[in-house]
Structure 1
Amino acid sequence: MTDDHAASLEPLRHRTIVLVGLMGVGKSSVGRRLAQALDMPFRDADNEVEDAAGRSIPEIFAELGEAAFRDGERRVIARLLEEPPHVLATGGGAFVNEETRALINQHAISVWLKADIELLARRVGRKDTRPLLKNREPIEVLAELAEIRNPAYAQAQVHVQTGDTPHAVAVDAVISALRDRLDQESFKP
């Protein structure tokens, strides 16, 4: 990376960048690469929840239920938002919680990664580790979740359409959208 390129990314490093969106959209994989491109730490809210609970997300869902998981998730994200700037990948339902969404939009820059439902279904259908997909067709679950969650995701400060492209393309699109957002903010009276 050239010194000019690194300097042009500097303004993006002053606030935590939180990635939101449906499961399979690439919040964790794009987030890791975005953090690397911006030379920022990366945090994954799902991993942080598992560490805090001492058990996996499927175990939390099975043993305590989704409500307990969401409560723990909200508390973990609130704690992470108090840390120095980093890139944070959230679970698909995190931003739907009104309190969590308000915290994220107040203390960070929220980025909604969007992709077609069919693409997401192909991606998430490859693994059986997602509790919300247990014994259900991924495309049906994702369509239902999109209907419920998209109004909340739409409240993200930055929207980035991703597709079936290399992660580097998505990272470039996020960086471009973040720069546009910062340019808009700098021109506000």
Structure 2
Amino acid sequence: MQDDMSGFATPPVPAEREKKMAEALAGRSVVLVGMMGAGKSAVGRRLAGRLGLEFRDADTEIEEAAQKTISEIFASDGEAFFRDKERRVIARLLACDKPIVLATGGGAYMNEETRTLIARCGISIWLKAELDVLMRRVRRKPTRPLLQTPDPEGTLRKLIEVRYPIYAGADVTVLSRDVAQETVLEDVVTALEHHLSTERSDKPA
């Protein structure tokens, strides 16, 4: 998925449906998790616009702070360094006094401390995509550090085997398909709305 929309400096005013959803978040953020190529950033920007919230991208925050690309950080400092920086950046973003829509990197949700923080401060949405869909998308960006192997598809398959059982613990799961981004966005909005409605109905009177 490609997206040419910039983040919102001043979030637009949401429609009545989305305004009610934003109110139901009760100060919590919406955190998108999933594999590289799942469309977290593209969908996240649009979702933020619908909800009238600020959009933040964890990978972008890391790159801006380091003045390096993710690939350059992996090459110069290693994955362990990157993961620690990722954990700290997400903790900072979710410590804000206002809710945001946050797109995380593919490995972020694998960190138990990060998962606990997301569960406390936000609602997690897993954008789930099948292997063939992910491969078509990641080929458009051949610089992804974890796929710099002789067998990128085999590597991606192994990552799926390890990560999907963890992603499955997210509050909401939405299938990321090769359809118009607005279609996936509407699926996300509907699933989030249902989750928030279920939360309300489960609360004691």
Which range, TM-score by smaller chain? over 0.9
Residue type of the alignment partner of 1:18 = V
Cα 1:65/1:9, change in 2 over 3 Å: same
Q: Choose the corresponding residue for 1:120, options 127, 130, 134.
A: 134
Identify the residue that residue 95 of structure 1 maps to in structure 2.
109
Amino acid across the alignment from 1:10:
A
Contact 2:38 2:127 in 1 (8 A): yes
Is residue 59 from structure 1 mapped to residue 63 from structure 2 by the alignment? Answer: no
Aligned residue in 2 for 1:23: 36
Whether the aligned pair in 2 keeps the contact of 1:44 and 1:90 (CA below 8 Å) is: yes
Specify the alignment match of 2:193 in structure 1: 179
Partners of 1:41 and 1:86 within 8 A in 2? yes
Aligned to 2:147: 133
- Hey, what does 1:150 align to over in structure 2? 164
Conservation of the 8 A alpha-carbon contact between 1:111 and 1:158: yes
Structure 2: distance between partners of 1:47 and 1:2: 25
Letter in 2 for 1:170: V
Query: Which structure dedicates a bigger proportion of its chain to helix?
Result: 1
User: Match for residue 169 of structure 1?
Assistant: 183
Q: C-alpha distance in 2, partners of 1:18/1:173?
A: 15
1:2: how far off?
A: 8.5
Amino acid in the other structure paired with 1:45: A
Which is worse superposed, 6-15 or 29-38? Answer: 6-15
Amino acid across the alignment from 2:53: M
Q: Measure the CA separation in 1 of the matches of 2:189 and 2:24.
A: 8
Contact 2:35 2:128 in 1 (8 A): yes
Alignment check: 8 A CA contact 1:78 1:103 kept = yes
Point out the more displaced range, 69-78 or 14-23: 14-23
* TM-score normalised to structure 2 length: 0.87
Distance change (3 Å), C-alpha of 1:119 and 1:6: closer
Aligned partners of 2:168 and 2:14: how far apart in 1?
35
Aligned length: 189
- Cα drift, residue 152 of structure 1: 1.2
Superposed displacement of residue 6, structure 1: 4.6
Give the equivalent residue in structure 2 for 1:10.
22
Deviation at 1:12, TM superposition (A): 5.3
Unaligned runs of 5+ in 2: 1-12
Is the contact made by 1:162 and 1:170 (CA closer than 8 Å) also made in structure 2? yes
Q: Which runs of 5+ in 1 are unaligned?
A: none
SS at match of 1:22: coil
Measured after TM superposition, the shift of residue 140 of structure 1 is 1.5
User: How has the CA–CA distance of structure 1 residues 3 and 146 changed in structure 2, closer, same or farther, with 3 Å as cutoff?
Assistant: closer
Q: Residues 3 and 45 (structure 1 numbering): CA distance in 2 closer, same or farther, change over 3 Å?
A: closer
Moved over 3 A (4+): 1-10, 135-138
Deviation for aligned residue 1:8 = 3.8
Contact 2:31 2:104 in 1 (8 A): yes
- Structure-2 change in CA distance of 1:2 and 1:114 (3 Å): closer
Alignment partners' CA distance in 1, 2:51 and 2:19: 10
